[in-house]
Structure 1
Amino acid sequence: MAYSLTSMMLLCYVMSSLHAGLSETITLSSVLKTKKQVADPPMFCPYHPEPVPLPSPLPDKITDVLTNLSSMAKLIINETSVPGLAAAVAYRGETILNIGYGVVDKKSKSARTPDSDTIFRVGSISKVFVVLTLFHLLEAGHVKSLDDPLTDYCPSFSIKNSYSIKNVVTLRQMVAELSGLPDQPPCFGDLSGNLCPTTTDDIIARLKDQYLVMTSWTRPSYSNLAFALLARCLMHRVNSPITYEEYVEKNILAPLKMTSTGFKITDSVKARLATGYNIDGSEAPLYDLGWAAPAGQMYSTVNDLMKLAQFFNSFGQDGGILSAESVKQMSLPAFLDYDGVTVWGTPWEMLFQDSYLVRSKGSQLSGYSGFMTFLPELQLSYVILISGTPSLVNILSYPYDILVKAFVPVLTGLQPKYPAPPNPEAYIGTYIDQSGLANFSIFQYEDQLAVQTSPTVALFISYYDDLLFQIKEPPLLPCVSYEVSAANNQWLYFEKIDDKTGKSPGFAFPGLFGLDTFKRVA
């Protein structure tokens, strides 16, 4: 006899409970308790609330954490090597913290404080735009696949390999720091001006005599060369009449309205640019990265980078330069590092923070540093730009540590009830499947409909449309068991309501061999 999917769900719950040694049955009250409290026992898959609107004024727990962040930022400032910074936090695309401390320039008599429109050099945050360009060209059909070999775009590229006979460097590897290419391009530049006064042909000719630092897909190895080379080769392949820099300005910066972001440091940019300082307090030179510009040449503001972060948080809806599918793919992990906490993406350096994966891109360029970060699951973004080079580890981990701990309980308490139908009595009752092994008892609880599938399992069902509901399963199992059971968001298809009784006589549920049918017995 074939068991219904409901029976297999029940078996999964019971076996998981026995395996975990749970003493408390999984009842509706425990479901509500889990939804209303943020508990993190290792046997439960963490609960992630939806990022719903916050009340005005903001809850005390949120304002307290923003005050804490402001105080932390102020502690970064020192008069010698870190004289100024600007930072902001946004939720659901709206700025809820906007701060600036210190001075834009130590020599200025005006002692102007940096703000969200002050320009800073953003170094490796420039690499985000290489990946955006790659996906933009992919959607336009100029790139066939992210797994194309680089030689499809720069046919003369080659590099020696001491690890294996054959190693193909692909586009995906390059943007995920998994290509094995050396860190720096062979530029032979001038430290007093252009750091890389060369061409793609010259770089490729020099690489023929260099070696991979490791085989591809082994583990991350940071490579400025990979991003600069990819950007230049992409333009070569599409026979673009414009440079990479011009392509980014036209196809990415302009649509995103990032009007204070670019590559070339003109006099008008200098007028708004915070002066960068070295660790010894000396003024940092404004290097031009030349050919290597795609890897780190750009400048921007907190406001502009907040627009970019919101583009990712909204999965591309705010900006329209890429499809949601491409933005989601760009936001996925590529490599879980050996510490089990650090995750590498394209081109993100990610960090697990209280069960959330924070996407970030850090920056350190002579005299400047900072982070652009975003967390789509909570619709949070945090940007900090600094005219100096402090230690950046806590600048990333600490804000999200306290932000997540504040937002999750607040949002959990604000979650809306699941919609109930206008005629709940038409669905309330007891149903049994064709095998006689599983039953559903549907009842009303606090203006919502809930279903008891056994004495140990209780779930909510959410009204979607006439005769159509979705199961809402709380994460009361380990993540693997919860996701393998695949009950959450499954559909219940109710039969037409009987004109005489005013009740639905049954419903269908997706099962192993099609739709399991349940008939009303009470």
Structure 2
Amino acid sequence: MFPSLKTTSLFLSCLTLGAQAALDGHCPPLGPVLPAPTEPSKHEAVPAAAKALKEILQQMTASYNTSAVAIGVKSIHESNLLFEYSYTPPNKDKRGAQTVDSDTVFRLGSLTKVFPVLALLKLKDRGVSLDDPITKYVPELRELKSQAREDSQVWAVEWDDVTLGSLASHMGGIPSDLITDIAPFGNLSAYGYPPADSSKFLGCSGFFGMPSCNKTIFFERFGERPPVQVPFSPQTVYSNIAFPILSFAVEAITKQPFADFVNNEIWKPTNMTRSFTEKPDDDLAFIPVNDSWWDADLGFQGPEGGYFSTINDLMRFGDAILKDELLTPAQTRKWLKPVIATSSKGLLIGQPWEIFRAENVTTDGRMIEVITKTGDLISYYSILLLIPDYDLVATLLVAGPGGPGEISGSALNLMASRLVATFLPALEKAGKAEVEAAYGGTYTDKKTNSSITLSLNDDGPGFSISKYVIRGVDIPTTDPGSTLPPAKVPFLDPPMRYRLYPASTKSDTQTSWRAVGTRGTAEQVEMSDAQIVWPMASCITWAMMDRVTFMGGARDHFVFDVEKGKLASGV
């Protein structure tokens, strides 16, 4: 329920464990620069990474007396996990499971937020769009303005301007929460607060023995809270309450309880048999000693952070996302895209994803996006990670009462960083080995005196193209770029440097690739970029692809014929 964004800076800072960057002046497109490995477990680098990560985690958890850890890593191309780790502390609550494994239930906290958004996306066939105003489905929200101190932008939410998508991406500008008011929980004068007016208490929260709040209290009281921003403000503001409101929309559309929709339309098809919208039997779960948060009932706010699951179920869920089993391929790709930036250079926000960007993980030094949803419910923490560049899913679930030497949100993010920094270089090696065996080598057409060599003999991104001769013409020294070729053929010194990257367009019998040229040495590129105030100013590959065509064909387009997954020929 509570966002763990407060600790996510560690997620990026600890990625410096990765190898040194080696872009060498190249500008690869964002996304995979080689196909993801389909049999990563068979490459020696991957089990070696698993061993190294296990040793790291053993050191990190050695001091835990009351904190439990469960972690899984999986390629969507293999049925078994690439890595599995669990830690059972010596001290745990007798109510819960006494041994932690990948089937042990944990609370998810805000990881729960993915389900209201996915539910709405699955309703596209009913005409639902994330651009729809929330009042199209929950018109009673308009009545909340009558509870505001005054009808102005400062004190009242203009609900007709709030869309489903703005709520899903924390851009609705609405108040963050309803049930986190601290007034009923003690004398707070020492912190500068005035005496509390008990007539203003909600009388519910679901915490510390108080009953949970229901939908009725939301519509009776939430309008008292002023907005934080106007919708779609540049200042994104994390909102818990947005996701119960989205669940109201799902219920209005489907005419069934939101929990039933999640169970029937998401969890059952994905075989998530140990995921729950309400607290399951205690003996299924890890419960920290004397923990009160295991029993906390978030009531109507359950869709923001109240659900329960396991490593194995969440691995099935992540698998299903990246395999396009829950949405169409186009819907999935769109869902995993960021929609707004934050003040952190390394963090973008999706619906409802937290998308981290790092340049220091893989040997080629390119930008990698790690799509995550984090969760924090005081003594329970969670992270789901999706890395489409490598078709990788990872999940981390931990719980503990906190305190010195025990688990915390920052410790979980540190674990996630270690996982990414350890596994991605190994997967990169596995992918290169597979792709070089399939595509590497020299392609020759003697009839036209043409020859192209593809190799992975350096740390740069994608394939290196050398011996690039077409109809007797040496392309690297004569390429005029995206301009109309001059009458006199130029001689380039230094020559163009080319890399070949996979495109997302493919069929059962062909794969499509695009070549990207770099004009100048790495030093020349660096000197040019140093004159511009924003970083990597010359990196405009996104604007240069498919620019030079001849008789309808693109100069940078390479197509390979494949048979039963193996290369047959290249064009």
TM-score normalised per structure 2: 0.67
- The aligned residue for residue 381 of structure 1 is 393
Deviations 1:110-157 (A, max 9, x none): 9843111111111111111111101011x22241x2111111111121
Q: Does 1:509 align with 2:553?
A: yes
Counterpart position of 1:486: 545
Contact residue 27 and residue 539 of structure 2 kept, 8 A: no
Query: Corresponding residue for 2:248?
Result: 232
Structure 2 Cα separation of the partners of residues 85 and 340 of structure 1: 30
Match of 1:402, as an amino acid? Answer: T
Q: How far did residue 69 of structure 1 move?
A: 2.0
Cα gap change, 1:283/1:210 in structure 2, threshold over 3 Å: closer, same or farther?
closer
Deviation at 1:471, TM superposition (A): 5.9
Secondary structure at 1:358 match in 2: strand
Aligned to 1:408: 428
SS of equivalent to 1:322: coil
1:303 aligns with 312
Q: Name the amino acid aligned to 1:100.
A: S
Matches within 5 A, 1:232-271: 232-236=248-252, 238=253, 240=255, 242-267=256-281, 270-271=282-283
Please report how far the alpha carbon of residue 300 of structure 1 lies from its aligned counterpart in structure 2 after TM superposition.
Answer: 0.6
Distance in 1, matches of 2:249 and 2:220, equals: 14
Find the aligned partners of 2:368 and 2:435 in 1 and give their Cα distance.
18
Would you say 1:350 and 2:355 are equivalent positions?
yes
**CA shift at 1:480, angstroms?**
4.0
1:179-328 matches, within 5 Å, as 179-185=172-178, 188-189=203-204, 190-193=206-209, 196-199=212-215, 201-218=216-233, 219-236=235-252, 238=253, 240=255, 242-267=256-281, 270-276=282-288, 282=291, 284-314=293-323, 316=324, 320-328=325-333
The number of residue pairs the alignment matches comes to: 429
Tell me, yes or no, if the aligned pair for 2:207 and 2:297 is still in contact at 8 Å.
no
d(CA) in 2 for partners of 1:56, 1:414 = 12
Q: 1:104 to 1:148 in 2, by over 3 A?
A: farther
% identical equivalent positions: 20
Instruction: Work out whether residues 130 and 294 of structure 1, in 8 Å CA contact, stay in contact via their aligned partners in 2.
Output: yes
**1:120 alignment counterpart:** 106
1:459 deviation in Å? 5.7
Give 3-state SS (helix, strand or coil) of 1:179's partner: coil
Measured in 2, the distance between the counterparts of 1:193 and 1:42 equals: 60
2:193 is matched with none
CA distance in 2, matches of 1:480, 1:471: 19
Please state how far the C-alpha of 1:262 moved relative to its aligned partner: 1.5
Unaligned runs of 5+ in 1: 1-36, 430-441, 493-506, 512-522
Task: Provide, for residues 36-79 of structure 1, a one-character-per-residue CA deviation record: whole Å limited to 9, x for no partner.
Answer: x97224553377222123466432x3333222322333344367
Letter in 2 for 1:209: E
State which of 71, 94, 100 in structure 1 corresponds to 2:55: 71
Q: Which one-letter code corresponds to 2:475 in the other structure?
A: T
Tell whether 2:130 aligns with 1:149: no
337, 352, 366: which one aligns with 1:332: 337
Structure 2 vs 1, CA of residues 100 and 483 (structure 1 numbering), >3 Å: closer, same or farther? same
Work out whether 1:84 is the aligned partner of 2:106. no
Q: Equivalents in 2 of 1:266, 1:297: separation in Å?
A: 12
- Whether the 8 Å contact between 1:104 and 1:114 is mirrored in structure 2 is no
User: Structure 2: any 5+ residue segments left out of the alignment?
Assistant: 1-19, 180-201, 360-366, 401-406, 456-464, 478-494, 520-535, 556-571
Letter in 1 for 2:301: A
Aligned alpha-carbon RMSD (Å): 3.6
Q: What is the SS of the residue equivalent to 2:284?
A: coil
1:440-497 per-position Cα deviation (integer Å, ceiling 9, x unaligned): xx325479995443513476899x99xx996631464767432222149x998xxxxx
- Write the distance in 1 (CA, Å) between the matches of 2:415 and 2:371: 14
2-side partners of 1:359 and 1:102: how far apart? 28
